[in-house]
Amino acid sequence: MMNATPDVLKVGALKRPENQRLETDIIDPVVFTQKSARFVFPKSGILSSDSQLHISQIVKNSAFPGVDTNAFYPTSTGALAMIQRAYLTIGGKRVSDQQSTGSWNTWKRLHFSNDYKERVSTPKQAGNDVFMGSASDAIAPASADAIRSRGFGAPYGQLGRRSSEYCSIFNSATNAGKQNAAFTAVSDKQKRLITADENTTPAFMISLSQLIPALVGVNLPLFAIKEEVALVIEFAPDTYGERFMWNSRDTAGNNLITADNYKKSKSTIVEKDLFLLCDYLFYDQLLEEMEDVIMNKGGYNLTFDDLIVQQTSRQFATGAYTNDIQIPLASRKVKSVVVQKQRTVNKDATLATNSSVYNSTELHLGCEYQLKIDSKNMYSLPVRNRGFQKSEADQVEGVPLVLCDYLYTWKNQVDPVTGVIPVDGEGITERQANSHLQSTEIATQNWIGVKLDNAYGEGVRVSNQPLIYTEKGTSVAADQVGGVTERTYRVFSVVQKVMNISSGLVMVVE
């Protein structure tokens, strides 16, 4: 019979007080290039899953060398945009692997409360995605209407990031106090903008549990693993829209949209800023007992959730469409499926958006979806209602997605036949954030999620047949911004795995 997992390997409060001590080490990478880095952990204590990766980047534009570009981190992704993939190896074998790290962590971050985003995530990892302000686009000319609306013009009742109630001019002696729409623009704080200098660019911290799915809720007993334990990080492409999002003006006032100069910005990961801050936990008495169990008494089985990512692309010509996506998960225990529908044009000037490529953009007329498991439909009716779609997505993580309806769906903002936004139809304001219209973010976080595990957290054991995710809908001309008809579908499947730690060796047994 397998031994029960000890509490010290789980994340959370212990049932009773234990003698413990904590040591923190800084670990530099053993291998570093602009493509990837590799860290090797010492065999010391129990690795806290809340250990942190310290990371920064600089951005230089070859058209204006030496000038800070005002580049910023994608709004709901933050510093995780710098990483494309992370995986944990033990004895050279991949134990847990997270691909599309930026996109997956965007989904995760959308579940954080606004308080947490403002007080923890944003200072620690950048980003700027708290939509709490009611707003309006324009300034109204002096009139009785303007008195009643405090100087703002229609449309009334839009949402946006917090910005000025009065949009008053403050940098002109002659016009001081007058209202001006330009003064409603917001931007990331200066201290979080990426500079061109290694010494001034801000550095951020990423928790290991954000990079390695196996470490969510699990502390790794490094002291009892004989093999080499290593973390490998692959960086995202160094171009605009991937590691960073561009601002239309640099600090010298140059317009980077002119001649597509924004495309000349390149990122460099700062080597001196890249290190791990590892916390090792020591429970002197317990470690001896655990070592005995691991070495001599069969060891432990640690259950964890891992991520399988599948990517494909689809073209959307105008008219009705049906997209079937097969998800091969042969005989695995599946807990949930999350679908991203990425629109990459959001990084370009055509539709520059604060979230950049880390989006899941709904088609203007929405879609209905169905998931087929072993030839049986998950839903008795395809899910078409946007509110129900979000309710289902909310079930996946057990906490709701914290985002306003206007960021989730086009419905309520477009003509139900043509998909065109009528005058004053947008629910998100046109006030700018980091020089881009906030209204470009409408419906960019339309993540589809299906929870499969039961009330006890046990996933569904699927057969050799692939899951089939089907979307049906109608694509309209409004979906083809800049003539781009392609969307990247990315399916994240959360599967249950078991890691056996025994005799100092680690094996993933399922």
Relative to beta strand 319-327, strand 436-437 is unpaired
- Contacts with another protein by CB under 8 A: the residue count is 64
Binding residue for another protein (CB under 8 A) from 73, 408, 447, 492? 408
From the list 403, 476, 499, 501, which residue makes contact with another protein (rule: CB under 8 A)?
Answer: 403
What are 96's two structure tokens?
């847990």
Q: How far apart are CA 302 and CA 3, in angstroms?
A: 10
DSSP state of 398: S
Stretch that binds another protein, among 187-195, 397-405, 464-472, 476-484 (CB under 8 A): 397-405
Among 237, 328, 387, 482, binds another protein (CB under 8 A): 387
112 binding another protein? (CB under 8 A): no
Exactly one of 229, 329, 365, 401 binds another protein (CB under 8 A); that residue is 401
DSSP string for 201-245: S-EEEEEHHHH-GGGTTB-B-GGG--S-EEEEEEEPPSSBTTTBB
Residue 451 lies near another protein (rule: CB under 8 A): yes
Task: Enter the tokens of residue 408.
Answer: 């989730």
C-alpha–C-alpha distance, residues 264 and 458, integer Å: 49
Query: Which lies closer to another protein via its Cβ, residue 236 or residue 442?
Result: 442
Rule CB under 8 A: choose which of 217, 400, 466, 504 binds another protein: 400
Separation CA 436–CA 28 (nearest Å): 37
Binding of residue 381 to another protein (CB under 8 A): yes
For another protein, the closer of residues 187 and 485 by Cβ is 187
| Angstrom distance (rounded) from CA 75 to CA 247 | 13
Supply angle C-alpha 360, 365, 367, rounded to 5: 65
The edge-to-edge listing of strands for the beta sheet with 31-32 is: 31-32, 36-41, 229-235, 83-90, 93-99
x-or-dash string of contact with another protein, 116-145, rule CB under 8 A: ---------------xxxxxx------xxx
| C-alpha–C-alpha distance, residues 220 and 11, integer Å | 10
Figure out which of the listed residues 227, 271, 368, 424 binds another protein, where binding follows CB under 8 A: 424
| Structure token pair of residue 216 | 């969510």
Please report how close the Cβ of residue 153 comes to another protein at its closest, in angstroms: 9
Residues from 3 through 42 that contact another protein (CB under 8 A): none
374 binds another protein (CB under 8 A): no
Least distance in angstroms from the C-beta of 468 to another protein: 17
Chain residues binding another protein by CB under 8 A are 113-115, 131-136, 143-145, 147-150, 152, 154-159, 162-163, 165, 378-381, 384-388, 390-392, 394-395, 400-405, 408-409, 411-413, 416, 423-425, 427, 451-456, 458, 460
